[in-house]
Amino acid sequence: QVQLVESGGGLVQAGGSLRLSCAASGRTFSSTIMGWFRQAPGKEREFVAAIFWNTGFTFSADSVKGRFTISRDNGRNTMYLQMNSLKPEDTAIYYCAAGRGVRVRNINEYDYWGQGIQVTVSS
């Protein structure tokens, strides 16, 4: 089992920044990928960004490229999502996830999920 805990969400004005953290514990060595997804009210959960834990290769959704940066600290078993130039349409609950697959944009590749954390961007 892998436990994931998100932190760093909150309310920010458009154009502002936030950094989300995801602390992993348990059998973290069993996961190859970690990612961020988000879900806005009335919408499906969507891919935001992902990182291969060992190589550090990253992937981002087109909607966040150039604004969001995913990274990880292997020693602390923690993943980050630096979010800059935030827009009201970025408002959502953000979820951290871990899995053993390779199709990083596919929600079904992830076995473990955090509880989610609210990010609200005001206009």
Sheet holding 2-7, edge to edge: 2-7, 18-26, 78-83, 68-73
Residue range 4-50, pLDDT digits in tens: 999 999 999 999 999 999 999 987 777 789 999 999 999 999 999 99
Q: Write out pLDDT tens, residues 82-104.
A: 999 999 999 999 999 999 988 99
Longest dimension (CA), the chain: 41
93 vs 16: CA distance, rounded Å: 17
Residue closest to 68 by CA, chosen among 112, 108, 36: 36
